[in-house]
Amino acid sequence: MQAAGPHAYEQATVERPDIANHLGRKFALGQPNQVWCGDITYIWSGQRWSYLAVVLDLYARRVVGWAMSSSPDADLVVKALDHAWEQRGQPKNVMFHYD
């Protein structure tokens, strides 16, 4: 496998005041399973692109769930979240941040 390299995503320039910012860039947390964040990247697997969704615990600063798929859709993110939720003992009241 090899990294896909730079991507063509555009950075958002419009703020959404109608959506509350509950996290407020407070990334220093006191315990695990308070805030998870996620992202998707794409990987060339030699024959086609594959998509990897990861879920990170912001307290532990480590991957707590992941999933791979041939398409970058909502189902991929749900599978990664389900994996994290099961691996971490089905915690309650976890905030999930995803761009």
Per residue in 3-39, pLDDT (tens digit) is 556 655 566 566 666 666 655 556 567 788 988 999 9
Nearest residue to 55 via CA among 30, 22, 91: 91
Tell me the average pLDDT across 32-50.
93
Please give the Cα distance from 58 to 85 (Å, whole number): 14
